[in-house]
Amino acid sequence: MSNFTFAILFLHIPDGFLSILVAAVTWLIILGILAYALRQAQRTLDERLIPLAGIMGAFIFAAQMINFPVAGGTSGHFIGATLAFIVLGPWLGLLTMTAVIALQALLFQDGGLLAMGANILVMGVVPGFIGYQLYRLGAGRSQRVQFGITGIGAWLAIMGAALMTTLLLAFSATTTLAVALPAMLGVHALIGLGEALITVAALALIMRSRPALLQAGQENGRRSWLIIGLIVALLLVLLAPFASGHPDGLVWVAEMTGFSQTAQSSPYQLLPGYTLPFLGETPISTILAGFVGVLVVSVVIVSIAKTLTPKKDANPYGRHSVE
């Protein structure tokens, strides 16, 4: 197996890292949160956000395929929960992240099936709400201050995700807090800088080119912006073969602390490691698999969002409220 494929296979928590009990509890927690998110989305969803949700999901999926190098022979990747929550609001943002993470596990065997609830918690709920609440603190301030607060929020979102992952590993008796916590927080403090830079850069681009995207009910479905977003996602896929081959932060910690061997492979293979099996582990295989992922993710998210019909008395500005 190539270094590139190894790095991309284990971006998310695989089965075996968590105990059955901890995995089951995280599933129960996530199902409850998602049920509430669906109800809130039905009340507050602006239908013009639906196409944008599909493009946002495609962008996040494509961006997560690109690992960037971090000091010490490790790598990290963009999570995107903070950006999704800011642009789409917390409820549609959470549903979008859930669709991305679920499809990564189901189609590409990236993340375990039993661990999917934990991955949604770690990569969707925790970083999304941390980053979004910090972004709200910067609302009404100067653009420079808002960007600074948003960057801090995106960095803290990654640190929160790393802390939650460490707690789940410790509760599973896979490792101990004393061993894993310093390593996880140390490496993800660096990865969080990349998350902050990408989030702020994307937010700055949106504010300068289409600021109405951040205001409920205004220009959210503009076709030209959606086409540009899809093109950007597809271009990111073209960069996937050049991603860092170093192990992801979680894999690196697992190797350093001695629990990497507990990872279990998926019971089936569809597009393993973001490749097409009949093309092998080649750059073109990864690119074509990425194109499939971008299209499937966007279609699934749009289809889910279309089933959410808001009530007539829904507050059109409610997508940025957390009740």
Could you read off the pLDDT of 175-190 as tens digits, one per residue? 999 999 999 999 999 9
Domain boundaries, given as residue ranges, for the chain: 3-320
pLDDT of residue 214: 72
Report the share of the chain in percent with pLDDT over 70: 89
Bigger pLDDT: 14 vs 8: 14
35-45 mean pLDDT: 93
Q: Is the pLDDT of residue 261 over 60?
A: yes
The type of residue at 192 is: G
Cβ contacts of residue 87 below 8 Å, gap of 6+? 52, 56, 93, 206, 213, 214
Mean pLDDT of 191-199: 96
pLDDT tens figures, 284-299: 999 999 999 999 999 9
Q: What is the pLDDT of residue 9?
A: 38
The answer to whether the CB of 116 falls within 8 A of the CB of 102 is yes
pLDDT of residue 310: 55
Model confidence at 269: pLDDT above 50? yes
In DSSP terms, which residues pair with 77 in a beta bridge?
A: 67
Total residue count of the chain as it appears in this document: 323
| 42, 140 contact by CB (below 8 A) | no
Count the neighbouring beta carbons within 10 Å of the beta carbon of residue 31: 12
Would you state the structure tokens that stand for residue 49, as one six-digit string? 């956000």
Q: How does residue 222 score in pLDDT terms, banded at 50, 70 and 90?
A: low
pLDDT of residue 32: 98
Residue 273: pLDDT above 60? yes
Give the whole-angstrom CA distance, residue 242 versus residue 66. 8
C-alpha to C-alpha distances, 7 to 110, 276, 291, nearest whole angstrom? 10, 17, 19
Rg (CA), the chain: 19
Tokens of 173: 């008796």
- The answer, yes or no, to whether residue 34 has pLDDT greater than 90, is yes
| Among the four given CATH numbers 2.102.10.10, 1.10.1760.20, 1.20.1260.10, 2.60.40.10, the one describing domain 3-320 | 1.10.1760.20
Mean pLDDT in residue range 249-253: 88
Does residue 157 have a pLDDT over 70?
yes
Q: How far apart are CA 201 and CA 170, in angstroms?
A: 35
Q: What is the mean pLDDT of the chain?
A: 88
What is the pLDDT confidence band of residue 311, given thresholds at 50, 70 and 90?
A: low
* 115-147 per-position pLDDT tens digit: 999 999 999 999 999 999 999 998 888 889 999
Identify the weakest region by mean pLDDT among 10-19, 109-118, 185-194.
Answer: 10-19
